[in-house]
Amino acid sequence: MGSKSDILVVGGGPAGIISAVTARRYYPDKKITLIKSVGNGCIPCGIPYMFSSLKDPDENKLGNGALEKNSIDVFVDEVIEIDRKKKQIITKNGKNYGYEKLILAMGSLPAILPIQGIDKKGVYPIYKDMDYLKGAIADIKKTKNVLVLGGGFIGVEFADEISKINGFNVYLVEIFPQLLANSFDSEFSRIVEEKLKENGVNVLTDTKVEEIIGQDCVKKVRFSNGQELDIDSVILGVGVAPNTKLAVDAGLDLGHGKGIWVDEYMRTIDPNIFAVGDCVCKRDFFTRRSTPVMLASTATAEARVAGANLYKLKIIRENKGTIAVYSTYIDGLMLGSAGLTENSAKKEGFEIVAGVACGVDKHPATLPGASEVKVKLIFSRKSGIILGGQVSGGMPCAELINLIGVAIQKRMSSMELEMLQMATHPFLTSAPTTYPVVLAAQDATGKM
Amino acid sequence: MGSKSDILVVGGGPAGIISAVTARRYYPDKKITLIKSVGNGCIPCGIPYMFSSLKDPDENKLGNGALEKNSIDVFVDEVIEIDRKKKQIITKNGKNYGYEKLILAMGSLPAILPIQGIDKKGVYPIYKDMDYLKGAIADIKKTKNVLVLGGGFIGVEFADEISKINGFNVYLVEIFPQLLANSFDSEFSRIVEEKLKENGVNVLTDTKVEEIIGQDCVKKVRFSNGQELDIDSVILGVGVAPNTKLAVDAGLDLGHGKGIWVDEYMRTIDPNIFAVGDCVCKRDFFTRRSTPVMLASTATAEARVAGANLYKLKIIRENKGTIAVYSTYIDGLMLGSAGLTENSAKKEGFEIVAGVACGVDKHPATLPGASEVKVKLIFSRKSGIILGGQVSGGMPCAELINLIGVAIQKRMSSMELEMLQMATHPFLTSAPTTYPVVLAAQDATGKM
């Protein structure tokens, strides 16, 4: 039994959905089919908020609405093989689907650390599967002592969310000396750590889990210093790896970064097979090296490129590589990072100068709801080009990190940023005299 | 009686303060003096909020802290003459001050329309003078029927503020058919109008005040359609004009736009006299024509250029002209505009295409505090370069207009914006699949 599509998409996450929808815009007459292995998906970055901020976990559902609206056929099934010669795929349910153009968007899988006892009941990797997650959340809510393993974004957000529910002991465990170590310098990580501690989270940095102890279920966790804690459930937030088995089995190349190799237009070595999103190898904006940064915004941009360019290259692209731009929100506090930190820039060998400015995100500072804002910008010392930025502040700073992201993508100089034209308003921004992006640039220029 | 400074600044607003402070950074050994005519200044954009949002109007004071910290001598006096030959200025109090380099930062004066009765008691132009404004606010608070004349930013913000106080009848009168007509297309102006009406403001567009009636004090206002209203006080918010008398009397040139003519480095025709801020002629970013746009952010950028470049040109600058970037906030609703509107772009003769996207400023949309967000982007049809943008949304969109402003200043194309890398987060932004700047760019590209 088989069917034939013109365009076949494997994967139902943001990359898969946007590929299919974009293909529909550009190829209105093609038959488009999307196959996904998970019936009920989730909005990936909303997963931590299914715990308490959302009234009902189902509010975080990633539905089929956009696909249905664009006349894309959707099947829930697992693709187990790509037959490149016959130009068809084969599924676990024994079906096959032919294609003219195939788009692989299999996403990533949670990394499972080789810790003794990690397979015990009560240890929850984060799969983007609504039914699985609803079960996990319900189970965890019945317990008392929760350990979140990994102090990256997902770990920090889970710890914050669970701390909002009364009656839990929450432990956030990070092997490095600081939280969010890939994205922030220590003075920003400290702001996050203090906020979490204020809210009752037990933050354990510089701490390694050695063993998860218990018969079938988690009972205790032992650290490398020998200390043991009573723990009922463990949430694993230690990163993800590209899901590439299908591509490797089909003889497609991987890039240096373990993801599927693609050219500028998301084409694999097979001109009829495209790949997009977390399953694809990413390059770094600054050095062009492979980088493990996986972001929904990168995935959707790649999906737009692939979807438009399936038959002829219509959208001309300069894939600048990922600048790694992130933001998070912890109980009234916004934090964002774009590009290189002072730390990572030095590690990459850049000669840098940093500029810092602190202020208040409204003006005058006595307006209700005003928060402190802090901006740090990293520049190449000789060329003066911006390499990165970090922001902390209140809700009005939400998009400030994306402004810095645009400046990075356009390789602006510190002098250009000093002369920036921006709207300022008492309720929405710092004062024009103290706009922190301008002052941080000025601070850096002064040191060049 | 006289004294001699190296650097002399005339004017105590943001442009004057930042000129002096920047000069101090670059010329640590110079004697710097600032003369201002108003003893107690105000933060200009905070003026409407002295009515109700700030507990005490004094919270909006523009103090001398930054000047004192930078060892800048401050005198309150009015400069009445510049003697360019003797390189000195003369004040109303009969003093004279010599200079090597003079920076003019006299700002602007409120426009007074030639309406019969406009000089009556109870009519309040907005002078940036704390003592005057405190008196005006106290007087207005004793009345009941307030008419705000002018539906630009200052008028809209005053009307909104006064509507927060119980017991007032507030009328907002605009001669054009829409509010904020210079900065927004009608679909955005309508959002503002509806919000104000919801909050009890009587919005009268397409309405011209013919006469202000009363013996000494305002009693009534008569419109051109003959209708009369009982009015106790009138707030004038109909724009400002560059304050240039001192410069004209000294034989300095004006530009086309009535402000003082300056070169790329804020030098007037006299190489020892610089001018910055609202008193200076502004050029438009898109056409290089003179434009009456006066913004504190432009003023402070000009002040940074002048302050750094007084003796030798240290900071190399490309004065791109003003992009006219504004934002405002009305009772939970943020609105911003950067560059040309659809309307103004057409008037200027551009062949354009507009892209629009609507969504929600958090994701999923059911998160507490989520607001609708709407983005409109204007592009040059053939070249694909961005010409302008408008945004409405909640607090998280505060800096989104400045992101669009950076895109304009870097002349980004719709295709670049489609491929934008941005941080997305449930509490801080729209979803990556529906990020409205990207979708609006995509919408526009599709129409090119």
Search chain B and give the residue with CA nearest A426. B46
- Do residue B326 and residue A423 have CB atoms under 8 angstroms apart? yes
Query: Among residues B265, B236, B272, which one has the least CA distance to residue B100?
Result: B272
- Which residues are paired to B125 by β-bridges? B236
Lay out the sheet containing A228-230: strands in order across. Answer: A209-213, A220-223, A228-230
Q: What percent of chain B has pLDDT over 70?
A: 100
Across chain B, which distance is largest between two alpha carbons, in Å?
70
Nearest CA in chain A to B42: A364
Domain locations along chain A = 2-108+241-308, 123-238, 325-447
The model's pLDDT over B234-276, given as tens digits with 9 standing for 90+, comes to 999 998 999 999 999 999 999 987 899 999 999 999 999 999 9
Same fold across B2-109+241-308 and B123-238: yes
A323 to chain B, closest Cα gap in Å = 7
pLDDT score, position A319: 82
Sign of CA dihedral B5, B7, B10, B15: negative
Between the CA of residue A228 and those of A210, A213, A219, A222, A238, what are the distances in Å?
Answer: 10, 9, 10, 4, 20
Residue with tokens 């009364």: A166
A305 closest CA partner among B380, B432, B415: B415
With a CB cutoff of 8 Å and minimum separation 6, the contacts of B407 are A406, B386, B389, B417
Contact check, Cβ <8 Å, B395/A424: no
CB-based contact B55 A366, cutoff 8 Å: yes
- Report whether pLDDT(A187) > 60: yes
Mean pLDDT on A84-95:
96
Q: What is the pLDDT of residue A314?
A: 87
Segment of A37-46, A211-220, B286-295, B362-371 carrying the highest mean pLDDT: A211-220
Q: Residue B123 and residue B190: Cα distance in Å, rounded?
A: 28
DSSP string, A62-106: E-SHHHHHTT-EEEE--EEEEETTTTEEEETTS-EEE-SEEEE--
Check if the beta carbon of residue B307 is closer than 8 Å to that of residue B20.
Answer: yes
What would the DSSP string read from start to end of A385-416? BEEEEEEEESGGGTTHHHHHHHHHHTT-BHHH
Amino acid at A317: R
Query: pLDDT (tens digit, 9 = 90+) per residue, B169-178?
Result: 999 999 999 9
- The residues, ordered by sequence, that sit 6+ positions from B21 with a Cβ below 8 Å of its Cβ are B66, B67, B70, B72, B307
pLDDT of residue B1: 55
CA distance B76 to B37: 5
Position A155: which residue type? G
Q: Which CATH number fits domain A123-238: 3.40.50.970, 3.50.50.60, 3.40.50.300, 1.10.3720.10?
A: 3.50.50.60
| Distance of alpha carbon B170 from alpha carbon B231, whole angstroms | 9
What is the number of other CB atoms lying within 10 angstroms of the CB of residue B349? 8
Q: Please report the pLDDT score of residue B207 as a whole number.
A: 97
B130-149 per-position pLDDT tens digit = 999 999 999 999 999 999 99
Residue B88 has pLDDT above 70, yes or no: yes
Which of A168-182, A355-369, B81-95 shows the lowest mean pLDDT across its residues? A355-369
Read off the pLDDT of residues B36-55 as tens digits, 9 standing for 90 and up.
999 999 988 899 999 989 98
- pLDDT at site A1: 55
Nearest residue on chain B to A46, alpha-carbon basis: B426
What does the alpha-carbon distance between residue B60 and residue A367 come to, in Å, rounded to a whole number?
A: 10
Q: What is the pLDDT of residue B116?
A: 95
Question: CA angle, A90 as apex, A85 and A95 as ends, to 5°?
Answer: 130
Of B314, B402, B410, B418, which to mutate for an interface test with A (greatest number of A Cβ within 10 Å)?
Answer: B402
CB contact under 8 A, B395 and A397: no
Question: Domain B325-447: which CATH class?
Answer: alpha beta
Would you tell me how many other CB atoms lie within 10 Å of the CB of residue A58?
15
Q: How far is B169 from chain A (nearest CA, A)?
A: 24
Contacts of A393 in chain B (CB under 8 A): none
Distance from CA of A241 to the nearest CA of B (A): 20
- Which of B130, B297, B363 is the best mutation test for A, with the most CBs of A within 10 A? B297
Measured between beta carbons, which residues in chain A are less than 8 angstroms from residue B431?
14, 43, 296
What is the structure's pLDDT at B219? 97
Continuous H helices in B96-168: 130-141, 153-163
CB contact under 8 A, A423 and B401: yes
Write out pLDDT tens, residues A265-298: 999 999 999 999 999 999 999 999 999 889 988 9
Helix (H) or strand (E) holding A302: helix A296-308
**pLDDT for residue B314:** 87
- Judging contacts by C-beta atoms under 8 Å, the chain B residues touching residue A421 are 295, 297-298, 301, 322-323, 325, 405, 409
Q: Which residues of B touch A410 (CB under 8 A)?
A: 406, 410, 412
pTM of the entire predicted model? 0.95
Q: Can you tell me the distance from the alpha carbon of B17 to that of B36, in angstroms, rounded to the nearest whole number? A: 10
- Joined tokens for residue B311: 């003796």
A401 contacts B403? CB cut-off 8 A: no
CATH superfamily of B2-109+241-308: FAD/NAD(P)-binding domain (3.50.50.60)
Average pLDDT of chain B, as a whole number: 95
The yes-or-no verdict on residue B76 having pLDDT over 80 is yes
In the Cβ-directed half-sphere of A268, how many Cα atoms lie within 13 Å? Answer: 26
Q: CATH classification of A2-108+241-308 is 3.50.50.60, yes or no?
A: yes
Per-residue confidence at A55, pLDDT binned at 50, 70, 90?
Answer: confident
The 3-state DSSP class for residue B361 equals coil
Report pLDDT for A323.
Answer: 95
Residue A117 Cα, gap to closest chain B Cα (Å): 33
| Residue A112 confidence (pLDDT) | 87
Q: Which of A330, A419, A447 to mutate to test the interface with B (most CBs of B within 10 A)?
A: A419
Task: Write down the pLDDT at residue B297.
Answer: 86
Strand partners, B354: B378
B90 closest CA partner among B108, B78, B102, B101: B78
pLDDT for B112 equals 87
Q: What is the DSSP letter of B235?
A: E
